Chain A
Amino acid sequence: MASYVLRRLGVSLLILLGASFLVYQLVAVSGDPLREYRESNRPNKEALMQARIDLLDLDTPAPLRYFSWLSGAVKCVIPGQCDLGKTLQGQEVTDALSAAIPSTIQLVLTATILAVVIGITIGIVVALRQYSVLDYSVTFMTFLFFSLPVFWVAVLLKEFGAIGFNDFLRDPSVSVTVALAVGLVAGVIWTVLIGGSWKRRGIVFAGSTLLTAGILWYLGWSQWFSYPGLGPGIVAGLGVGIAFALTALLAGLRNRKALYSALIMVGLAVVAMFALQPLLEDPSVWLVILLGIAAVGGGLLVGRLMGGYDRGQSMKVAALTSFLVAGLVLLDGFMQAWPEYFKLTRGRPIATIGSETPNLNGDFWITGVDKYTHLVLPTISLILISLASYTRYSRASMLEVMGQDYVRTGRAKGLPERTVVVRHAFRNALIPLATIVAFDIGGLLGGAVITENVFSFKGMGQLFIQGLDHQDPNPVMGVFLVVGVTAVTFNLVADLLYSALDPRVRVKA
């Protein structure tokens, strides 16, 4: 095993060396680094050109220049000794990278996690209802999303998601017709999703249409869009819903211990909401993370104390419930900061470009809201284009697993359908997906370049494109190094993960 990993790492290193050499040469032939001076009429043109030649060391041929870059890059193995050169603007590439990487990771990570969760959920649901209306409509939608050019979607999102929504927020009231129209759409979606007999479909359609329209109209009427918030009542209500849903899904409602431990966690969360009020006035990021961990830990503890024949299930359900309810509490906090943020941005809260509002001073909640309003559009466009593949993969994988003999055995020995689907089929359907996700994470860091460019999001993509525009090899190579190393590492991780998850696949040393 160890020797296999070592060998793979060695080969990867050689691949990286070769690829970086190629990339360096490609940057060198991708344009004329002196073009901006050649076209200028400035009197000191010659001197400027000479300075640029010296700066980029253009008198040395590119293949040789590569080695001087390499001698600096090799030092990156020793921490703190990294020397990736300077950008044309004189900034250390390592500094530029360390500023760019976090924002790219934030963007990519949020988008990937959401796309994976949503995509797998849709794929599984669709696989369980193969060849239904739902299946066909989802298949069509995934093909449509998959055919969308990201820059086109991005412009549309800017226009309708940001500018349109901001205009709506100026006078956030919902007319009855609009509410009904949205309600009808929601009704159709729910009907297709739930299915069943015609009577049931009718009830679902009417119910969900009226409910959605009513809620929407009420939210508009009560100025909720200007002063949003959840309050303990709604948090508790949603929490109970989450508790029931998760128990039904993961343990079955007949497992009372799991249900009670989840409900206890909801109660505790609402109590904590009041008890921690002063602490949550202006928390630090670490405090929030700590509270999240505490929520999960508390759930595990309560589930364990509830005992019973299957403690694991109670623990899982309680921990997940309390984590989600803690998320709701957090959301409530951000919502309460909304009116102030709305004022700070002069009524245009959803941003179309950039990764943060310049010169914004605010507490944890304000800066948090600011971050999310900037992240929301790029994240949506990334999700839209990557959702399709996850849906297709998980559908195919789930269909394959559902046809396996052990699923039939499970049914034959009388297991409830929930157990067959969740415990026997779902878990095994995730195995091929795990490798795909690992691959994608490796590729994603470099994959957000266009999205970042369209939204002027200051990340690695920007660094890369700007470097490329000026034939400046150092930032390009820096980004390439980060992306390449992640790609190679995650390829290895994907392979190891696969053999760990599926013991039939052996890694032979």
Chain B
Amino acid sequence: MTEQTTERMTDSLDSGEVAADLKGKSQGALVRKRFFGHTGAIVSLVVLALVVILALTSVGIGGWHGWWKFRWTDTPPLQNGGRPTLSLFPFSLGEHPFGQDSVGRDYFAMTMRGTQISLLVTFVVGVIAAFVGVVFGALSGYFRGWVEAVLMRLTDMVIIIPVLLIGAVIGYNTKSGVVVLGLLLGLTYWTGMARLVRGDFLSLREREFVDAARLAGASDKRIIFKHILPNAVGVITVNTTLLMSSAILLETSLSYLNMGVKAPDTSLGLLISQNQAAFATRPWLFWWPGLFIVLICLCINFIGDGLRDAFDPRQRKISLRRMKETPREEIDNRLEGSLLAANVATLDGARSGWEDGAPGVGHDPDPRDETK
């Protein structure tokens, strides 16, 4: 009996909490709060930050040499067959923590340099693709008509052009460096984003607040930037993250096929490609870059997952027990209050690509709009 009462009491407390954290906070504060409540995402954010700091400070950027004693181009004499000297118990780095490659270059420095390059390419691809995708998606979703027809057909065309081909072209003309590589890859990688943003704009432009703004005499520009875009920011953020996580895999794959980053510069994919034959004799040459790729990609994916949970309250963890205690309608109302307009297209829900940490960036099975 007593137990039951306590349970009921905690429950009402819980539902009070639900009300409390939905009341009187700005959208941004809510999203931030939910994001910081996502352990996996926070841990990933910290790990990713550490990786970035490590990669930037150890071998330095530009003219700065960083705190690590070797450069990725130095060839100190081979010690102990180039075996890694890193030991965790007791912790010590030793002379060459990640070992040395066959000519004696310090593999830690090389991996760090590779991480820098891979991160740089990923970042550039993410920014460019997100930008182009948002512009295309926003224009075609908002204006519809011939603008949409032209832009979307262009999107369809870019989708079927193999990325490898772009890689090959850049690989041949890559005197200009990795930023150009990222730039051009970004210019072919925006299609998924464009389709998703378009879908979002299509549903948002039919909403009452847009009608209200239009009636109040707002210009198209103002409606897009002040009314619709802020509501689509969830889709855009989450997708940019996911896009970056697949961009790092794309960059490493291209470099692996000798089409992306080329020697003397290095990237994580190129390191694996150069050393895969040595797996039997020098396995560490193969393990370290791979581990860094997986680590970075995993972190980005988890951050994306956390962002999605933060932006998409429909996937919130509300325990069934709480739901039973609180009248259904009340919960619905509360959720509605916090529901981003971005996710209202319920039918799109499971398919809108950002439901998922998947390569959903490319998917836009939204035939309703195609088939009007």
Contacts and interface: CB of A to CB of B under 8 A. Distances in A.
Q: Is this pair of chains taken from one and the same complex?
A: yes
Interface stretch (B80-88, B91-99, B138-146, B159-167): B159-167
B350 A400 contact: yes
B41 to A, nearest CB: 11
Contacts of A480: 162
A151 B153 contact: no
A389 interface: yes
9 contacts: A15-B160, A18-B157, A26-B165, A32-B172, A144-B294, A147-B293, A392-B357, A450-B256, A508-B372
A435 B164 CA distance: 25
Contacts of A146: 245, 297, 301, 357-358
B156 interface: yes
Q: DSSP class of A's interface residues: helix, strand, loop or mixed?
A: helix
Interface stretch (A248-256, A290-298, A482-490): A482-490
Contacts of A499: 367, 371
A149 interface: yes
Contacts of B212: none
Q: DSSP class of B's interface residues: helix, strand, loop or mixed?
A: helix
Contacts of A148: 294, 297
Contacts of B363: 436, 439
Interface of B: 153, 156-162, 164-166, 168-169, 171-173, 245, 249, 252-253, 256-257, 269, 272-273, 276, 279-280, 286, 290, 293-294, 297-298, 301-302, 305, 315, 317, 347, 349-351, 355-360, 362-363, 365, 367-368, 370-372
Interface string A408-426: 0000000000000000000
Contact of B350 (A31, A393, A483): A393
Given A397-B350, A508-B372, A15 B359 contact: no
Contacts of A22: 157, 161
B365 A494 contact: yes
B253 A151 contact: yes
B257 A453 contact: yes
Given A23-B162, A449-B162, A506-B371, 19 more contacts: A22-B161, A23-B161, A29-B169, A147-B249, A147-B293, A149-B297, A151-B253, A388-B358, A389-B356, A392-B355, A393-B356, A396-B356, A397-B351, A400-B349, A435-B351, A436-B351, A450-B257, A488-B160, A506-B368
Interface string A121-161: 00000000001000000000011101111111001000100
Contacts of B298: 143-144, 147
A372 B173 CA distance: 41
B158 to A, nearest CB: 8
A374 B350 CA distance: 37
A425 B173 CA distance: 53
A interface, size bucket: 35 or more
Interface in A205-263: none
B367 A505 contact: yes
B367 to A, nearest CB: 4
Nearest to A498: B367
A453 B259 CA distance: 13
Nearest to A27: B165
A15 B157 CA distance: 5
A30 B156 contact: no
Given A148-B294, A400-B350, A19 B164 contact: no
B370 to A, nearest CB: 6
A149 B168 contact: no
A498 B253 contact: no
Contacts of A465: 164, 257
B164 A449 contact: yes
